[in-house]
């Protein structure tokens, strides 16, 4: 009997250790409360959007400074081939499936492209330099538009874009998409700037630095996260 008790006691101790360890890991992952988990999700998404915006801006600026880009109006076969080589080389090696580049001429007609690209209206292409979110058949993309001037005249436009997540709903031009985070999946919607979102416990907004768009984010509350003591059941 004492031996059986020792075995049972060891099993109970092991179970307690596993339970405490699991709770500690969950607490470290989610934080001590829903509010802290939400803050971590928001911080992660803002960091990812800032990093993507910086990457697209750097690519666009680098291509806009290339002499061949400013000569985009030239449509001879050699010049066009150089443009295709230029945009293909500008896409990071591990980003070809979600990043794309297009060079347009002065009239907003695409001349060369590489990677994952979408069709944009001419008035958008020929507008000012901006960062925007636009819906696409595979989900919205973060888009950097950079005008290229030559002799004080718009000679070309560089558009660099990156897929943001997986589209929600039926295939088509969706403005709602999902992104995974370290804590929980997030559903995001593209909103026009200015209108505040409806107040919800697990909702926040991510505005563009230039005011070009606002993303409204809804966080799916992870069912496995630990509840704080005394919290609602």
CATH number, domain with residue 83: 3.30.450.20
> Contact 186/218 with Cβ under 8 angstroms?
yes
* 91 within a domain of the structure (yes/no): yes
User: In angstroms, rounded to a whole number, what is the distance separating the alpha carbons of residues 126 and 145?
Assistant: 9
Q: Which domain holds residue 110?
A: 34-164
Q: Of 60, 107, 108, 67, whose CA–CA distance to 87 is shortest?
A: 60
Contacts of 138 (CB under 8 A, 6+ apart): 116, 163, 167
- Our CA dihedral for 150, 155, 162, 188, rounded to 10 degrees, sits at 100
* 216 within a domain of the structure (yes/no): no
Strand (E) or helix (H) holding 101: strand 99-105
> Contact 69/82 with Cβ under 8 angstroms?
no
The model carries a pTM of 0.70
* 9 within a domain of the structure (yes/no): no
Per-residue pLDDT of the chain (233 residues; tens, 9 = 90+): 455 545 445 444 444 444 333 333 344 444 456 788 888 888 888 888 888 889 999 999 999 999 888 886 667 788 889 999 999 999 988 776 789 999 999 999 999 999 989 889 999 999 988 888 877 666 678 899 999 998 889 999 999 999 876 665 555 556 777 888 888 888 888 775 555 555 566 788 787 766 667 788 888 765 544 444 334 33
Angle ∠(4,10,12) on CA atoms, nearest 5: 105
* 177 within a domain of the structure (yes/no): no
* 159 within a domain of the structure (yes/no): yes
Domain count, the chain: 1
> Contact 217/42 with Cβ under 8 angstroms?
yes
Q: Of 215, 157, 148, 155, whose CA–CA distance to 186 is shortest?
A: 215
* 1 within a domain of the structure (yes/no): no
pLDDT digits (tens, 9 = 90+) for 124-181: 999 988 888 877 666 678 899 999 998 889 999 999 999 876 665 555 556 777 888 8
Give the position of tokens 């209108």: 195
> Contact 104/123 with Cβ under 8 angstroms?
no
């Amino acid at each position: 009997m004492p031996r059986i008790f020792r075995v049972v006691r060891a099993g109970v101790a092991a179970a307690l250790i596993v339970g405490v360890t699991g709770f500690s890991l969950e607490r470290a992952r989610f934080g001590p409360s829903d509010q802290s988990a939400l803050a971590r999700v928001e911080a992660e998404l803002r960091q990812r959007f800032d990093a993507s915006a910086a990457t697209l801006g750097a690519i666009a600026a680098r291509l806009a400074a290339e002499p061949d880009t400013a000569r985009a109006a030239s449509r001879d076969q050699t010049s066009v081939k150089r443009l295709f080589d230029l945009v293909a080389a500008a896409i990071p090696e591990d980003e070809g499936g979600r990043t794309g580049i297009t060079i347009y001429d002065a009239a907003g007609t695409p001349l060369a492209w590489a990677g994952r690209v979408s069709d944009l209206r001419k008035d958008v292409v020929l507008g000012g330099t901006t960062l925007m979110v636009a819906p696409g058949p595979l989900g919205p993309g973060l888009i950097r538009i950079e005008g290229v001037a030559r002799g004080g005249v718009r000679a070309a436009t560089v558009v660099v874009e990156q897929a943001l997540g997986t589209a929600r709903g039926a295939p088509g031009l969706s403005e709602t998409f999902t992104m995974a985070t370290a804590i929980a999946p997030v559903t995001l919607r593209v909103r026009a700037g200015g209108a505040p979102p409806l107040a919800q416990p697990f909702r926040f907004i991510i505005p563009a630095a230039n005011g070009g768009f606002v993303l409204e984010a809804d966080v799916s509350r992870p069912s496995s996260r630990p509840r704080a003591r005394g919290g609602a059941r």
